Amino acid sequence: MNKSLSILFSVKKSKINKNTLEAPIYMRVTYDGVRFEKSINRSINPAKWSQASGKAIGSSENSHSINSLIDTLKSKVYEHYRKLVESGKSFSAMTIYNSLFGSVQKPKSIIEVFVKHNSEMNALIGIDFSKATYTRYETTLKHLRDFMAWYSKQDDCELVEINHSFIGSFEFYLKTEKRIGNNTTVKYLKNFHKIIRIAIANGYIDKDPFFNHKFKLIDVERQYLTESELDVIASKELHVERLEQVRDVFLFCCYTGLAYADVAKLNSEHITKGVDGEEWIYINRTKTKVKSRIPLLPRAKAILNKYRTYIPLKYKNLLLPVSSNQKMNAYLKEIAVLCDIKKPLHVHLGRHSFATNSLINGVPLDSVSKMLGHSSISMSEKYAKVTDSKISDDTKHLREEFIDYKVG
């Protein structure tokens, strides 16, 4: 076997007894990069301990007794390790621990903890979490299951077996085998890290295998639809009711900045009079619970009026005929072809378009942040891109200033 075993004895100075000035001695066993620690139920003054040799110093009876116990424990560990190797079965550091000391509780597995987390999250949908957040964790779990089948031909593993190498291989798998982009891969890894933090908090493992793992997000330019592109989509004769409804809902998102989950639940209670006497949308974002305050612009209001007498919505107490996110994205691809829009249309592009067009038209960043329901302006800064048209407007005076300038 290529997997290494090491045994180390050390004094826990952080647990020194202030009365006796003695600190407990711990045995640390590391196998295949995973370790466990256990007290040997003996203490010693740190001044009488050699960290280099891992033994007590001196010829006193106490030193002899401690060193004899250390030798005995080392022999026991190597003996149990030898038996496990001879068995021919796969084993972990926790298997060695259980072989030595017995197991009152079965070691926790990563899938066990992950499934429990997702089950609890599912029960809290609409209370602490959105359906979309739950779905992302379910997707992360599926990718993890697939990875383990690919990586080790196993359907689960003990938490103590997860190390830095495991995480690096999982990231590699997502990017290569699954062909998932960098930023989405980082999101899955962060979801996985949350499960690891839960395991640490519950005492299932004693160290974070994500330590020193860097999450590297790549700054991606966010696309948006220009006002002229929105006009093309709005004026297109579609002749198919399902496409027309999806187009209207999408445009409503472009004119309000609402995310899919929020436009799907929009009802008459969310429409109210604002400080200016005009109609506004007052809604708490499904994802973050942060309040959004959005003036109902004429184009958005016209779309609501179009469906004011639409019978199916009356029974649901909703304002717009919103299909599933998956169906909307599929139908938007059809609409893009019909309108000769080269940009990939998807529901969330409406939110990007609203934010960017608002900034282009001079709406201050803090106001855009409020309308989007962001908890901080920094979250909105990703939309504050400089477009070619804005550069042109901002430098127009320079063009006029140097119009008669000649060289030489």
- At 288, the pLDDT band (50, 70, 90 cuts) reads confident
Residue 127: per-residue pLDDT: 83
Residue 136: inside a domain: yes
Residue 212: inside a domain: no
Q: Where are the alpha helices (DSSP H) in 42-130?
A: 61-87, 93-101, 110-123
Query: pLDDT (tens digit, 9 = 90+) per residue, 392-401?
Result: 666 666 666 6
The reply to whether 247 and 297 lie within a common domain is: yes
The reply to whether 340 and 239 lie within a common domain is: yes
Residue with tokens 């708490």: 284
Tell me how crowded residue 327 is: count the other CB atoms within 10 A of its CB: 12
The reply to whether 297 and 246 lie within a common domain is: yes
The reply to whether 145 and 177 lie within a common domain is: yes
Average pLDDT over residues 36-58: 91
| Phi and psi angles of residue 204, each rounded to the nearest 5 degrees, phi first | -75, -30
The domain boundary, picked from 201, 235, 259, lies at 201
The reply to whether 92 and 231 lie within a common domain is: no
Residue 1: per-residue pLDDT: 43
CB distance 249 to 320 below 8 Å: yes
Tell me how crowded residue 301 is: count the other CB atoms within 10 A of its CB: 16
- At 117, the pLDDT band (50, 70, 90 cuts) reads very high
Token pair, residue 29, equals: 């066993």
List, in sequence order, every residue forming a beta bridge with 24; answer none if it has no partner.
Answer: 43
Q: How far apart are CA 32 and CA 378, in angstroms?
A: 43
- Collect contacts of 44-47 with beta carbons under 8 A, ≥24 apart: 44/11, 45/21, 46/11, 46/13, 46/16
Query: pLDDT (tens digit, 9 = 90+) per residue, 148-172?
Result: 999 888 888 888 888 888 999 999 9
Average pLDDT over residues 10-17: 88
> Which DSSP state fits 242?
H
- Output the pTM of the full model: 0.60
* Mean pLDDT rounded to a whole number for the chain: 87
Counting the structural domains of the chain, the total is: 3
Residue 13: inside a domain: yes
Average pLDDT over residues 349-363: 88
Amino acid at 184: T
The reply to whether 43 and 151 lie within a common domain is: no
**Looking at the predicted structure, is the pLDDT value of residue 388 above 70?**
no
More confident call, 182 vs 87 = 182
Amino acid at 114: F
Residue 314: inside a domain: yes
- At 126, the pLDDT band (50, 70, 90 cuts) reads confident
The reply to whether 256 and 178 lie within a common domain is: no
Q: How far apart are CA 191 and CA 137, in angstroms?
A: 6
Query: pLDDT (tens digit, 9 = 90+) per residue, 167-214?
Result: 999 999 999 999 999 999 999 999 999 999 999 888 788 789 998 898
Q: How far apart are CA 351 and CA 292, in angstroms?
A: 13
Question: Cα angle vertex 301, ends 296, 306, to 5°?
Answer: 160
Token pair, residue 140, equals: 């992360």
Residue 133: inside a domain: yes
Residue 404: per-residue pLDDT: 57
The reply to whether 195 and 239 lie within a common domain is: no
The reply to whether 255 and 367 lie within a common domain is: yes
Residue 301 domain boundaries? 227-392
Residue 223: per-residue pLDDT: 85
**CATH number of the domain within which 371 lies:** 1.10.443.10
The reply to whether 245 and 374 lie within a common domain is: yes
Residue 370: per-residue pLDDT: 84
The reply to whether 314 and 248 lie within a common domain is: yes
Residue 403: inside a domain: no
Average pLDDT over residues 307-322: 88
Residue with tokens 């550069």: 391
Distance of CA 377 to the CA centre of its chain: 20
Residue 103: per-residue pLDDT: 60
The reply to whether 247 and 347 lie within a common domain is: yes
Residue 209: inside a domain: no
Residue 323: per-residue pLDDT: 92
Amino acid at 212: N
Residue 268: inside a domain: yes
